[in-house]
């Protein structure tokens, strides 16, 4: 999406009579990309839907204060990422199991569910991604699936480009090792 279109939507959002229309256009524009971004973090469809709904509620409530220091989509990705991470943190606390056991539980549901349609190598890739530490998993997904530039990821994740490159490198090495071992 072009920055000009975002500016138009933001201007429309500031006008009371076109506010709902503008927000519906924002949702229409970014919903699918944000859904898949969130889904790759939380894994399960029903969880991704809940997180995405919370993301758009926060966006609606915060859009009046959006300073346009960043692009709209990076701002939305930051909200979605934070919501997904908060959701996982709450879910882990609710089920009262250690992080490692929680990840195994998610992996089991992943293997039984409809997360991916694909061949065996795709399943191996997804399983390897699910075993990565949270930060590496998010960085890998944003780079590999969303084809995001490191500068955009740095803005969303509030970290340095160098740290992101290192996380991505480590993630790739771990995934390669897991796929070769399997």
What mean pLDDT comes out for the span 145-168? 95
Q: What is the DSSP string of the chain?
A: --HHHHHHHHHHHHSGGGHHHHHHHHHHHHHHHHHHHHHHHH-SHHHHHHHHHHHHHHHHHHGGG---SS-HHHHHHHHHHHHHHHHHHHHHHHHT--HHHHHHHHHHHHHHTTS----HHHHHHHHHHHHS-HHHHHHHHHHHTS---HHHHHHHHTS-HHHHHHHHHHHHHHHHHHHHH-
Per-residue pLDDT at 80: 97
pLDDT at 156 over 60: yes
Per-residue pLDDT at 36: 95
Per-residue pLDDT at 118: 56
- Whether 57 and 132 map to the same domain: the answer is no
Name the residue with tokens 């399943």: 123
pLDDT at 107 over 70: no
What is the rounded average pLDDT for all residues in the chain?
87
Per-residue pLDDT at 141: 93
Cα gap 147→156, rounded to integer Å: 14
What mean pLDDT comes out for the span 112-139? 77
- Whether 43 and 129 map to the same domain: the answer is no
Is residue 137 included in any domain, yes or no? yes
What is the percent of the chain with per-residue pLDDT over 90, rounded to a whole number? 63
Per-residue pLDDT at 101: 55
- In this structure, what CATH number is given to the domain that contains residue 20? 1.10.1740.10
pLDDT at 113 over 70: no
Cα gap 46→103, rounded to integer Å: 17
Name the residue with tokens 């500016």: 7
- Whether 70 and 33 map to the same domain: the answer is yes
- Whether 1 and 91 map to the same domain: the answer is yes
Total domain count, the chain:
2
pLDDT at 116 over 60: no
- In this structure, what CATH number is given to the domain that contains residue 122? 1.10.10.10
Confidence of residue 56 (pLDDT cuts 50, 70, 90): very high
- Whether 38 and 88 map to the same domain: the answer is yes
Check residues 121 and 67 and name the one with the higher pLDDT.
67
Domain end point (choices 66, 96, 126): 96
* Parent domain of 148: 116-182
Per-residue pLDDT at 172: 96
């Amino acid at each position: 999406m072009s920055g000009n279109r975002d500016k138009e939507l933001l201007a429309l959002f500031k006008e009371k009579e076109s506010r709902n229309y503008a927000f519906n256009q924002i949702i229409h524009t970014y919903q699918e990309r944000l859904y898949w971004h969130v889904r790759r973090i939380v894994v399960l469809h029903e969880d991704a839907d809940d997180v995405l709904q919370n993301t758009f509620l926060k966006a609606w409530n915060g859009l009046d204060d959006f300073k346009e220091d960043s692009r709209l989509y990076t701002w939305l990705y930051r909200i979605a990422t934070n919501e997904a991470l908060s959701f996982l943190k709450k879910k882990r606390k609710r089920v009262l199991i250690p992080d490692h056991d929680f990840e195994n539980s998610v992996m089991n549901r992943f293997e039984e569910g409809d997360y991916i349609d694909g061949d065996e190598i795709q399943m191996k890739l997804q399983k390897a991604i699910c075993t990565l530490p949270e930060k590496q998993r998010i960085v890998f997904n944003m780079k590999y699936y969303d084809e995001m530039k490191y500068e955009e990821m740095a803005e969303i994740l509030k970290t340095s480009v160098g740290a992101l490159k290192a996380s991505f490198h480590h993630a790739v090495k771990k995934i390669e090792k897991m796929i070769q071992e399997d």
